[in-house]
Chain A
Amino acid sequence: MPEIIACFKWVIDEAYIRRGSAGELDLSSVNYKISEYDRNAIEEAVRLREAHGGSVILVTVAAPEASKGVKDALSRGGDRAFFIADNAFHELEPSQTAAILAEVIRSRIPHDLIICGEGSGDLYAQQVGPRLAEILGIPSIAFVRKLAIEKGRVIAQRKVEEGMEVVAAPLPALVTVLPDINIPRIPGVKDTLTASKKPVVTIKKDELSGTFEALLKNLDVRATQMERHCEKYGTEPTEIARFLELLRSKGVIAA
């Protein structure tokens, strides 16, 4: 009966990001959501519990406003949650998130398997999973498309540059999953209503012993610009000819 941890992140919903009048990034009216990749992680954990029994423990490191995210995650099938929440946790870098998760998991959450998304929807650094595994001293398998547990080990199909590999590792282990691994279910009304009745352990920064210093320094964040002045042509034969002549003049197609 495996104890499965699923980690998730509460991120800005990029659909709400706007550009200001000077082209700068406008985050003033953003909503938040569970990172899409983490939904796959939670869904996979729930599926494994449905197959093998055991329980799904959700863990997140966030600012205190993310309590709605904890409810959302529990409504997706988790049994209980650890909410490591502090105002100091607003903009953590992956090394910090991994270190915080590692301290809490190591000291409080016995586990057989840890499932993370392949990356987060906001930073997409793809570091937390492997870093967490390294700190905990357990094997990691990233970019997993298919997952199974048997007799004390995890068997996974992972994507590699050359194609696919089927690999195995002894438990406890950590995997990061690709979006194609499953289709996360949409929670039903009762799932959402019962979420707040499930146990949540809230942990603040001063309850932790690590210092979690940042290893990177953010120098700048700016909206991406891709301004090119587009000359538009019509579809009449003369226009098509002019268009191709232009490409020839730039040397991109043979004269």
Chain B
Amino acid sequence: MDFKLTEEQELIRSNMREFAAKHVDPIAVEIDENARHPAEVFQQLAEGNWLGIPIPQEYGGAGADRLTHVIAVEELSRSCASTGFTLSAHVDLACTPILLFGNEQQKKEFLTPLAEGKSLGAFALTEPGAGTDVMAAATTATPDGNDYVINGTKTFTSNGPIAGTYVVFAWTDKEAGRKGMSAFIVPRNSPGLRVGEHFQKMGLRASQTSEMIFKDCRIPKENLLGQAGQGIPIAMTTFDHGRMGIAAQSIGILQAALDESVKYSKERVQFGTPIARHQAIAWMIADMATDLAAARFLTYYAAWLKDQKQPFSKEASMAKLFASEAAMKHTTKAVQIHGGYGYIKGAKVERLMRDAKITEIYEGTSEAQRMVISGNVLR
């Protein structure tokens, strides 16, 4: 078993670290406070091919492997989880399904500009009445001449307000149950599509989240992604990839929490000694470092399996479950280590803890992950 990263992966990691330190660290507090999407950063990310790492070069991507993309998301999230997540949602939830299920025409027309970073992508599945229970969705897509007409409301759409292209899920044949939902590629300027309520969140505030309202939204028939009725399998496969992105994001948050906690505990003196010398604090840091290592290796393993073209769904789910719960647990500990200072705006751990919570919820709650894993193990 070779645990070494390739030289390219190591160089790409340090280049993203440098990029994040230079372009993201200085604005991380401001974009969190103002819930602002840093468009200027994404412009620069596009120039460096960061927005399509695992997409083949013929479709505008960098043509690298999934593990390289995971590393990039991790390093970017270490500086700002919102920025890391915006990138990961774009690649994993929008680029990936088009890559895996799109025809040649769709890949040229839609995937290429996304992978080149000319615009960002979004994924619209969740609805007010349908979260973990995907089948409770109500959005429909009705054929009409050369078009489909979509009606319904999607909610909690990440990148909703800023995306140029959406992958949208809607019923084409409600009677067919799990085989009745289809996936569509919907450009932003489609008639009948508008951004609905823009949500103010507890954390991940620089990531833009909104409702998407489809009112007689008309798209060409050619925009059907994959086969009619293939929607649910497309969504599930997409989540397999997205989970590695969330795990990577969680690792980035965890690494930042560890870095802050180590630094603070060496400097903060109470009872005549740096608190790092007090066993209670030292043990918290030991647990943090251990879970970080476990999360990292589990996530890299899932990505490695995918790159080896082996089944990776269970491992991706495990990585997401473990890394997200570890991120929440240890960012809470990190605030604890910082004491009162950790609770004040401007302290990095204050933001890390608020950012961590959502990783246990989106792209399949921890409960959903446990369903996937147990379903796999108990077969």
By a beta-carbon cutoff of 8 Å, the part of chain A in contact with chain B is 33, 67-68, 71-72, 75, 186-190, 192-193, 195-196
Contact = CB atoms under 8 A, between A and B. Distances in A.
A187 B7 CA distance: 14
Interface of B: 7-8, 10-12, 14-15, 18-19, 22, 47-50, 53, 57, 62-64, 68, 72
A189 B49 contact: yes
27 contacts: A33-B14, A67-B7, A71-B7, A71-B8, A71-B11, A75-B11, A186-B15, A186-B18, A186-B19, A187-B11, A187-B15, A187-B48, A188-B15, A188-B47, A188-B48, A188-B62, A189-B12, A189-B49, A189-B50, A189-B53, A189-B72, A190-B57, A192-B15, A193-B8, A193-B63, A193-B64, A196-B8
Given A188-B49, A192-B12, 11 more contacts: A67-B7, A68-B7, A71-B7, A71-B8, A186-B19, A186-B22, A187-B48, A189-B12, A189-B62, A193-B63, A195-B8
Nearest to B22: A186
Nearest to A187: B15
Contacts of B64: 189, 193
Contact of A72 (B11, B50, B63): B11
Contacts of A189: 12, 48-50, 53, 62, 64, 68, 72
A33 B8 CA distance: 14
Q: Helix, strand, loop or mixed for chain A's interface? A: helix
Contacts of B15: 186-188, 192
B10 A188 contact: no
Contacts of B7: 67-68, 71, 196
A72 B11 CA distance: 7
A233 to B, nearest CB: 16
B262 to A, nearest CB: 13
Contacts of B49: 188-190
Nearest to B57: A190
B52 to A, nearest CB: 9
A68 B62 contact: no
Contacts of B57: 190
A27 to B, nearest CB: 19
A224 B202 CA distance: 47
A72 B9 CA distance: 11
A72 B8 CA distance: 9
A193 B62 contact: yes
